[in-house]
Amino acid sequence: MSNYPSHLSEKILRLNMPSKKDHPKEKTRLHPRNKHRERYDFSLLIEACPELAHFVSLNRFGDVSIDFFDPNAVKMLNKALLQCYYSIENWTIPTDYLCPPIPGRADYLHYIADLLCAKNFGKIPVGKDISVLDIGIGANGVYPFIGTNVYNWSFVGSDIDPIAMESVRGILKSNPHLIDSIELRFQENPSNIFRGIIQTKELFDLTICNPPFHASQQIAAAGTRRKITNLTGKKMDVPTLNFGGQQNELWCDGGEIAFVSNIGRQSKEFANACFWFSTLLSKESNVKALHSILVRLGATEIKVIPMGQGTKSSRIVAWTFLTAEAQRDWVKNRWRKGN
């Protein structure tokens, strides 16, 4: 601690004060392998990212925390988490772009890794030979940054937003060790999901997607107002999106179900190019509709995996078109090659 300026050392010492509010030792709704099941260690995070100290204080419960309604504080917390736990240097995003919760993003990858594990005799396939397509990588690049660190997978990130793509390129320049593990591909046709991205004879072990949840900007804003009211008891006419988000990140025509239904239909064209297709679903009511579409398309297996973070619940829907024989060949030729 002697390497820090005096004002920062004093702040870190204050962070060791006992909390005035009792909290569970673990966030048990998170995946068992998730690095964020315990409460944030702000001393450790400030050591990794000293800029975070400016945003850390005691909240109204007497707990060391940040103001989660402050977009700059949330952004700096993400930077610290990615630096401390995933060795990502100089992470940042453009103003008003989506700043996702790191624990939830990590959970998606851990649960989807379990799907591979179940097909691979109880062992998670790791290494650069495992290829993942992140549909809509966004400006934050969080899924590939976590997945390369935890599982050493290779990623292709696609997006329709050139600003988002340039943001991730900038982060990669600060992390040259990831250049060979993360490839960016711009989707020129916003109506396409896989066409124009998956190349001839290219194979992916997984596709992942965090779809836009809302049908319009007005609905997204109304949802944020409800969230703030529930958390604070205060009504706000014009809420600040503490997590940010551009149109293509938060809303689209038809909302979540229209977007994921399109993924399902287009995945059929690439049925043999991927083992597991997957997407997040925020609304449980949309699961049945997507399931019906996938059954009609001829999916051989459909999995629904519940997830939870705090009071928020969501789920992953994953599907494959591979027959049992094709799955065994895939595992033998890609995951157990040389074993």
Tell me how long the chain is: 339
What mean pLDDT comes out for the span 87-110?
95
What b/e string do you get for 84-96 counting C-beta neighbours within 10 Å, with b at 16 or more?
bbbebeebbbeee
C-alpha–C-alpha distance, residues 321 and 294, integer Å: 9
Per-residue pLDDT, 27 = 87
Per-residue pLDDT, 215 = 44
> Can you give the residue ranges of every domain in the chain?
94-335
Question: Percent of the chain at pLDDT above 90?
Answer: 71
Q: Please say if the pLDDT value at position 223 is more than 60.
A: no
Q: What is the mean pLDDT of the chain?
A: 86
Q: Please say if the pLDDT value at position 254 is more than 80.
A: no
What mean pLDDT comes out for the span 117-126?
97
- The CATH number for 94-335, chosen from 3.40.50.620, 3.20.20.110, 3.40.50.150, 3.30.110.40, is 3.40.50.150
Per-residue pLDDT, 14 = 57
What mean pLDDT comes out for the span 2-22?
52
Q: Please say if the pLDDT value at position 158 is more than 70.
A: yes
pLDDT classification of 174: cutoffs 50, 70, 90: very high
Residue appearing with tokens 């049908």: 215
What mean pLDDT comes out for the span 117-125?
97
Q: Please say if the pLDDT value at position 218 is more than 60.
A: no
Per-residue pLDDT, 12 = 52
pLDDT classification of 315: cutoffs 50, 70, 90: very high
Does residue 2 or residue 189 have the better pLDDT? 189
> For residue 245, which of 167, 338, 140 has the smallest C-alpha distance?
140
Handedness of CA 261, 262, 264, 268 (dihedral sign): positive
Q: Please say if the pLDDT value at position 291 is more than 90.
A: yes
Handedness of CA 308, 84, 146, 115 (dihedral sign): negative
Per-residue pLDDT, 20 = 53
C-alpha–C-alpha distance, residues 76 and 98, integer Å: 13
Per-residue pLDDT, 213 = 58
Q: What is the pLDDT of residues 131-154, one digit of tens each?
A: 999 999 999 999 999 999 999 999
> For residue 196, which of 135, 143, 139 has the smallest C-alpha distance?
135
Q: Please say if the pLDDT value at position 217 is more than 60.
A: no
pTM as predicted: 0.85
Query: Following CA atoms 96, 263, 119, 28 in sequence, which dihedral angle do they give, to the nearest 10 degrees?
Result: 40
Rg (CA), the chain: 21
pLDDT classification of 251: cutoffs 50, 70, 90: very low
C-alpha–C-alpha distance, residues 258 and 28, integer Å: 32
C-alpha–C-alpha distance, residues 209 and 178, integer Å: 21
Per-residue pLDDT, 23 = 61
Instruction: List, in order, residues 6 or more apart from 207 with CB less than 8 Å away.
Output: 132, 133, 134, 135, 194, 267, 274, 276, 277, 278
Q: Please say if the pLDDT value at position 1 is more than 90.
A: no
Per-residue pLDDT, 28 = 85
What mean pLDDT comes out for the span 84-110?
95
Per-residue pLDDT, 13 = 57
- Say which amino acid occupies 72: N
pLDDT classification of 26: cutoffs 50, 70, 90: confident
pLDDT classification of 250: cutoffs 50, 70, 90: very low
Does residue 23 or residue 55 have the better pLDDT? 55
Residue appearing with tokens 């809303």: 251
Instruction: Give the count of beta carbons closer than 10 Å to the beta carbon of residue 63.
Output: 15
